[in-house]
Every structure is written in C-alpha cells, then in structure tokens.
Structure 1
Amino acid sequence: MSHTARQLKKAARIILVGAPGVGKGTQSERLLARFPQLASISSGDLLRENVRRRTQLGVQAEAAMQSGNLVPDSMILGLISSELTSKGWLKPSSSNSSAPNSSTASTSSSQSAASFPQISPTASFILDGFPRTATQATSLDALVPVNFVVQLVTPPSVILARIASRWVHEPSGRVYNTDFHAPKVPGKDDITGEPLTQREDDSIDTWKQRLRKFEETSRALLEHYERRGCLWRVEGKSSDEITPQLFAEFERRFC
C-alpha cells in the first residue's frame, strides 16, 4: 500500500474506542501521518492548555478538579466547541450557545440535525478522550456529528502480555518492550545504564480494573453509534495487523 498522503473527498470526524492498551494512540498517530488534513483534538490536552492559560473555562475546570470532582461534560463540550470555533470550523448560531447545556443534550435527532450545518465541511479530525459514555455521545451529537467510530479489538491476553513486557526509563520516558524492543542489557536503559521500571499503570491488577470500567461504559457508547450507522469494528493481535485494515476502510469511506 502506498503511504503517500491522500486527499479526503468528505470530512472525517473520528473517534477510536478500545480497551486500555489496545493501541488507540498508535492508530491515531498513523492516521494523522497518512492523512495530513486530519487534526487531533484531545480533550485532555485542551483541558491542560486552558488551565495553563487561565481561560474562563480553564479556571472553572481547575476549581472542579481541585475540589475532587470530575470536570462536567458541559465544560469539556465547551472546550471542544471553542477549539473548533478558533479553527474556523464551527460557526456559532444564534440558537446554539458555544457549550450545549443539558437541554441541548436531550434534543431530538431532528433538532440536533438542524444544528449540523454549523460544522465546516472541511473539518476533519480525530477526537481523543471524549466521548467515553453514551450520555456524552448524545451531548456531542448536538455539537459535532461524528461519522466514523472505530472499535479496536485485540484479545485481552495479547494486551496483558504486551503490558507485562513493557519497561520504562522513568527520567527520560524511553520505553522498551522485552518482546520486540528489548534493552541491550536486561533491566537497564541503553543510554544511561540506569535501572528500568514498570509503570504503576502497567500492573496487571490496575489494567484489569481499567478494563472492567471500560467494558461497563463502552457497551452503551458503541450501541449509540451502531444505531447512528457509523460504527466499524476491526480486530487484530497487533497495531501492524490493524493499521492496513483501518487505512483501507478509511479510504473507502472518505477518499
């Protein structure tokens, strides 16, 4: 398959859904590299950036986090909305404020469809970190009609083996994998010779807890997008097995 950049015939608004460790970040990076018209919109990055810049939303979000609460969905939607607006992709309409409120979230599909023309036909992006639940997806529908939801599936035993073989050099962030990118000296960083460690997140118990949480919230999310007719499922034991299938389907739909 040729890896030259391809032109998009229509806008792609994508989310990737999959268990922790399935390789969403890897697939996202590969899509962005192959299709330069795609942008990455990460709710986590937007949140950190707005907190750092002390924007009104950032200050509100920081207050929520400092009091031990989750950042409300409406606030995340506000961040996404203002990012899309700043890129010139979202035209604020008189009937719709920049951050949909709870009444917007429950609008009927016909009403939310009426707000779709606000989105620029050239706005192509991968939305990372949001939505994670069906409720969030419904709220997002009123703002941005997602049109390609990729469910990445890798057997849990394969992900567990991958996690167990991953080691990091904490000070530099260098990552090793004893299966396919092993350090020259076992347990030691190639450059400094310092000891490698495993991230707390990479413990099997932590992963199993995260998987349970993901399975609880993702079922209704995937059903939501299946009803919308934009869910596509791809299975593979490695990122390299999944990528060519993903590229082919993406090109079929958008190029």
Structure 2
Amino acid sequence: MLNIVLFGPPGAGKGTQSEKLIEKYKIDHISTGDLFRKHLGEGTDLGKLAQKYMDEGNLVPDEVVIGMVDDKINQTKDPTGFIFDGFPRTVAQAKALDELLTAKGTGISGMVSLEVPEEELRTRIKERGKTSGRVDDQDEAKISNRIKVYLEETLPVADYYDKQGKLSRIEGVGTIEGIFSSICKVIDNY
C-alpha cells in the first residue's frame, strides 16, 4: 500500500495538493479536519469536543484523533493506500499511527513536507478565510497561535520521519502544478 503523510504548516497547500494526489494515485484521503467537521456536523460529542480545541487554535488530544483515524481506516473497503493530510500532528500521534498501520500489515511509505515561509502562510490563510467562510482563518491572533502550535508541537514530527529516512522536503511556493509535479517525483520513487 502507498501511505503518504502530506505535511506542512497551516496554509501550505496540503488540501489543494491532496485532491490532486488522490486523483492521480487512487488512494483514500484521511484529513483530521474533515473527520472533525463530520463529527461536528453530525452533532456527536466527539465533534463538539474537537471543535472546542480547534476554536481555541489548539490541537485535539491524541487519543481522540487516533480513534477517529482508526475508524476511518476500518471503514475503507479494499484500500490501495492513504494520504494523511494534517495528521499526525505530534510525535505521539506518529508513533501511534506507525503502530496502527503495522498491526494492519502496512506502514508509512514516506512524508512529503511542503516548505512555505511564514509571511506567505499568513497571506494564504487570510485569503482562504475570505472564500471558505472559516472564521479562524480571518483572525490574526488565531492564525498566529496556529503557526506557533505548528512550530512547537507539530514540526518535530518531520524529524521523527527523517530519522526513519522517510522525509522529503518540497518547496511549497510556486504554481499548483509545479508543486504537484515535484511531489509526484518524490512519490514515484516510493
């Protein structure tokens, strides 16, 4: 199975590139943001709890996230692989994901990290906020907190996969197609 972690800070373009990768490689998409929104939309207790953390710009606790990811994997019939978008966000989640996949007879093929300067991230997030209606994408304090949380809590995940020889860094500034082409060159070598 082809299992890819698409990694990068908020606003790096993970969602945009995920859509293209899913189409090209015919793999299933696991986005924790989508899982949280699904649970919130259905009014589950888990969704409400996740929303509380997201509204504050903080990470949802690992055990909640891992349970949702495991549930999504188990619901997927005959998977050829997964693209993990926005997950794992902590080293503890990365270790739990490795254990989960190993138990299912597979593992992470590689991590693709989209590298984007902070000022570009801020610009992109604000632009996305205008079109998506996401209030948290329009609040400067929440944007700053999300970037800070990424740098302090999420960035170490790249080191975790780098130590396994699975990290590839991609310049995340340029055309959507150019960035996509760079990502595909990496994935085609898995």
Same fold (TM over 0.5): yes
3-state secondary structure, aligned to 2:84: strand
Give the letter for the 2:20 counterpart.
R
The counterpart of 2:182, out of the listed 245, 250, 253, is: 245
Identity of aligned residues (%): 30
Where do 1:41-80 residues align within 5 Å? 41-50=30-39, 58-59=44-45, 61-62=46-47, 64=49, 72-80=61-69
Distance in 2, Cα, partners of 1:48 & 1:163: 18
| 1:51-80: CA deviation from partner (whole Å, max 9, x where unpaired) | 6567xxx54x25745887975422322222
Give the letter for the 2:84 counterpart.
L
CA separation of 1:38 and 1:137: change in aligned 2, threshold 3 A: same
User: Where does residue 146 of structure 1 map in the other structure?
Assistant: 108
Where do 1:11-90 residues align within 5 Å? 11-35=1-25, 37-50=26-39, 58-59=44-45, 61-62=46-47, 64=49, 72-88=61-77
Aligned partners of 2:38 and 2:47 also within 8 Å: no
How far did 1:134 drift?
0.6
Higher helix share: 2
Stretch of structure 1 that moved more, 219-228 or 75-84: 75-84
Give the letter for the 2:99 counterpart.
A
CA separation of 1:64 and 1:162: change in aligned 2, threshold 3 A: closer
Alignment root-mean-square deviation, CA: 3.2
Aligned partners of 2:126 and 2:138 also within 8 Å: yes
The counterpart of 1:159, out of the listed 115, 121, 131, is: 121
Counterpart check, 1:231 vs 2:167: yes
Distance in 1, Cα, partners of 2:116 & 2:179: 9
**Structure 2: gaps spanning 5 or more residues:** 102-106
3-state secondary structure, aligned to 1:14: strand
**Structure 1: gaps spanning 5 or more residues:** 1-10, 90-121, 175-197
How far did 1:252 drift?
2.5
